[in-house]
Amino acid sequence: MGSFGIPLFPEQASTFARDVDALYFFIIAVSGFFALGVTVAVIVFGIVFRRRHAGEVGARIEGNLPLELAWSIIPTMISMVMFGWGASSYFHMRTPPAEALNIYAVGKQWMWKFQHLEGQREINELHVPVGRPVKVTITSEDVVHSLYLPSFRTKMDAIPGRYTHLWFEATKVGEYHIFCTEYCGTNHSGMIGTVVVMEPNDYQAWLAGGGVEGTLVERGQRLFQDLACGTCHLDTGKGRGPSLNDIVGKTVALADGSTAVVDEGYLRESIINSQAKIVQGYQPLMPAFQGLVSEDNLVALVEYVKSLSPQATTTAPAAATAPAAPAADPTKKK
């Protein structure tokens, strides 16, 4: 995939890559056709109709309505093909399959931190299995970053204060770039890493090798206890806060009369800025945990609360709970 030694596109390593490249070459073909047409026309006209004596003037041609309508309408129609194709690719890219493996990414100046449900945590390196959809839920601890995986032809901004997501299905075992594509200060160009695509078996073996703190849910459960969340959020629903059982994916009525769907973003906001949305029938008693819980821990708490809604939790862990590996620094790989 190169010409004269200069590569034209990065490795095609995800299910999106072929479609995006095809669309890219389609637009190159269409725009190449128009660019060539106009270029040839102006050059040929420039030669054929060059001024032959000083007093020569051009023909009086004011316009030609059918012609002008034609070159307004035909490009419009062609551009609608691009729009439609691009929009359908995008829709596909924005719709993760229900069975996707869930991974969390947190950007901070200037590193990417990834957390797997099984408990592994890594920095600037992301291990994923080949041939399985992976959904990455992304946030940032400080400024806006953007998680870019060029070989997968996808990216998504990491925005402080909210969750965004992207998904992909890797098609080729190998190591590929991770870049930050939203300028984030001094070491922006050093906020890079590697996504390691592994055979499913290797991935399982890798998963088994980390996670001293237990799974993400287990970490979340410990935090839930440490922060004494259970004092109010009783299972019975009779506590000062609503029960957290079976709430994910449900629509809850809020005190101000509006409603909200319980998803990861809602859970995150309800922890750090608990006054933002109060469930109907409850008092705004909960303290805000802004600044008290790191983004990494928020992710664990959110996963724990999600685990309390078993029928709504669509993302099964990739493996059974891995036993804690002794003496492994969870932030280091291999």
Partner 1 sequence: MLDTLKLPERHYLNNGHGLKSWLLTKDHKRIAIMYLISISVMFLIGGLFAAAVRVELMTPEGDLFLADTYNKMFTMHGVVMVFFFLIPSTPAVLGNFLIPPMIGAKDLAFPRINLLSLYLLWVGAAFFFYALFAGGVDTGWTFYTPFSSSASNSNVVPTALGAFISGFSSILTGLNFIVTIHRMRAPGLTWFRLPLFVWAHYATSLIQVLGTPVVAITIVMVAVERMFGFAIFDPVRGGDPVLFQHLFWFYSHPAVYIMILPAMGVISEVVSTFSRKTIFGYSFVAFSSLAIAVFGFLVWAHHLFVAGISTYSAMVFSFLSFAVAIPSAVKTFNWAATLYKGAISFETPMLYAYGFFGLFLIGGLTGLFLATLGVDIHVHDTYFVVAHFHYIMVGGAIMGYLGGLHFWWPKLTGRMYSEFFSRISAILVFVGFNLTFFPQFMLGYMGMPRRYHAYPDEFQVLNIMSSAGAAVLGVGYLLPVLYFLWSLKRGEVAGPNPWGASGLEWQMPSPPPTENFKEQPVVHGEPYEYTPHVAREANLV
In the complex, least distance from residue 108 CB atom to partner 1, rounded to whole angstroms = 11
Q: Are 187 and 90 in contact (CB under 8 A)?
A: no
131/190 with CB nearer partner 1:
190
DSSP state of 42: H
Q: Which element (helix H / strand E) includes 15?
A: helix 15-48
Least distance in Å: CB of 34 to partner 1? Answer: 7
Query: In this complex, which beta carbon is closest to partner 1, that of residue 54 or of residue 327?
Result: 54
Buried residues in 5-32 as b, exposed as e (16+ CB within 10 A): eeeeebbbbbbbbebbbebeeebeeeee
**Is the Cβ of residue 92 or residue 332 nearer to partner 1 in the bound state?**
92
Calculate the alpha carbon distances from 222 to 99, 103, 215, 334 in Å.
Answer: 27, 20, 11, 26
Report d(CA 182, CA 148) in Å as an integer: 9
Nearer to partner 1, 126 or 322 (CB): 126
Closest distance between partner 1 and the C-beta of residue 64, in Å? Answer: 7
The CB-of-49 to partner 1 minimum distance in angstroms stands at 5
Reduced to 3 states, what is the DSSP secondary structure of residue 194? strand
Q: In whole angstroms, how close is the CB of 247 to partner 1 at the nearest point?
A: 23
* CA nearest neighbour of 232 among 222, 220, 247, 244: 244
The smaller minimum CB distance to partner 1, of residues 54 and 98, is found at 54
Q: DSSP secondary-structure letter at 241?
A: B
In terms of Cβ atoms closer than 10 Å to its own Cβ (0-12, 13-18, 19+), residue 145 is: buried
Nearer to partner 1, 34 or 225 (CB): 34
Distance CA 305, CA 307 (A): 5
Kindly list the distances between the CA atom of residue 159 and the CA atoms of 106, 140, 145, 164, 203, in Å, as whole numbers in the listed order. Answer: 9, 5, 7, 7, 29
Block residue for tokens 């506590």? 239
Answer whether 12's CB lies under 8 Å from 151's CB. yes
Closest contact distance (angstroms) between CB of 288 and partner 1 is 10
> Which of 276/316 has CB closer to partner 1?
276
Q: Of 143 and 252, which CB lies nearer to partner 1 in the complex structure?
A: 143
Q: How far apart are CA 240 and CA 101, in angstroms?
A: 34
